[in-house]
Structure 1
């Protein structure tokens, strides 16, 4: 059984692209994951990593 998909309007497309751009803005280390369900974007997840310089945990 297949379910007909609702067409995505140009306004919806622009909104999704804005959200992806927002998720990428300022991201130095990490990932942006886009989840699609039934041909439609349902979630945008941003995972950011912070790298700490100078704290290696070693004692001298």
Structure 2
């Protein structure tokens, strides 16, 4: 198992800490983190009104 660069670990943790909804994808090649993708979702509250039937 390869050692993980502390800067990459800190980046991943900070990304997760600042995210409310979404995903983080960590790409690894030959045991080394080569890419980190973040997809963040923004959710808006919805108000349901009673139907007028």
TM-score where L is the length of structure 1: 0.63
Q: RMSD of the TM alignment (CA)? A: 2.2
Distance (whole Å) between structure 2 residues aligned to residue 39 and residue 14 of structure 1: 15
Higher relative contact order (CA 8 A, sep 6+): 2
Q: How many residues were matched structurally?
A: 48
2:18 matched residue in structure 1:
26
Q: Extract unaligned runs of 5+ from structure 1.
A: 1-6
Distance (whole Å) between structure 1 residues aligned to residue 47 and residue 30 of structure 2: 45
Alignment of 1:6-17 (within 5 A): 8=3, 13-17=5-9
TM-score where L is the length of structure 2: 0.70
Q: Extract unaligned runs of 5+ from structure 2.
A: none
Query: Which consecutive segments of 4 or more residues in structure 1 shift more than 6 A?
Result: none
